[in-house]
Amino acid sequence: MIFDAIQWDPSLGIKIGSFIIRYYSLAYVIGFVVGYYVIKKVFERENENLELLDPLLIYIALGVIIGARLGHVFFYDWSYFKHHLLEIFLPFRFEPEFEFTGFQGLASHGATIGIALAAWLFYRKYKDQIRHKSFLWWTDRMVLAIPFGGAMIRLGNLMNSEIVGKPTGTDYGFVFKALGEDFPRHPTQIYEAAAYFLLFFLVMYLYWKTDIRHYPGMLFGVFFSLLWIIRFIIEFWKEPQDAEDARLLAQTGLNTGQWLSIPFILIGLYFIWYGYKHKKTLEND
């Protein structure tokens, strides 16, 4: 074989004494930092109020974390959490014994809903302080930062040996030693991260090098539809995340992530159409 299986068994983080900085947490931090500077460049280009950057980051960070957590709870694991309500927001497990777990279980569909709600709440609170009054102006700009963060999170999943792909049936793939396995699987975390990096460069190119920013909602629509098309396709190589996910896949041919992606794809396509129909020069652009 040209490609031999990679024996994947990384540490979970950087150990400093008895404390471990987890790679997954670092991935989140890097994603937020890069996103902050991307939006800062946009604000500088379009003369938006730079004092809004810090509260915007706080709103979006909370939206991502809370939305992703609740998305996992309600979309993927409600059968467990309905009997362990405290564990939804506490990074501990109480049964069969007390254990610090961190917040294991975050869903990107939930994060998307959380970001949307956080953006709306931010817009409502700071509307009098912002220069560009159109909410679609804000959505078109904020999506520039999201694909990079999504790619970093998938690399964090790879470091955690989680959200793994299906067995390849060949010598190609990753052998996830942390799972006690000796056969290769598709490294779907890498597939998805690579696709999100490409999406990041695409939306950055469209914003900086074309006039798509004059089409309200179109950049958001391009990003949103492509993001969930990518997710929908890559799910075919992923293992079901739990028994309910596996049952849905067996019954319908699509898993939970794919069914949840379909309405998001349609929303993205709608905003592409909306932007095309409502081209205008945005105020003070």
Run of H or E including 204: helix 188-209
pLDDT per residue as tens digits for the range 14-38? 877 767 788 888 888 899 899 999 9
The crossing angle, in degrees rounded to 10, of helices 256-277 and 243-252 is 70
- pTM (2 d.p.): 0.84
Say what the pLDDT of residue 282 is: 44
Task: Identify which of 193, 102, 120 has the alpha carbon closest to the alpha carbon of residue 156.
Answer: 193
Alpha carbon 50 to chain centroid distance? 25
CA angle 199/200/201 to nearest 5° reads 90
pLDDT per residue as tens digits for the range 199-214? 999 999 999 999 999 9
pLDDT per residue as tens digits for the range 238-276? 999 878 888 999 999 999 889 989 999 999 999 999 998
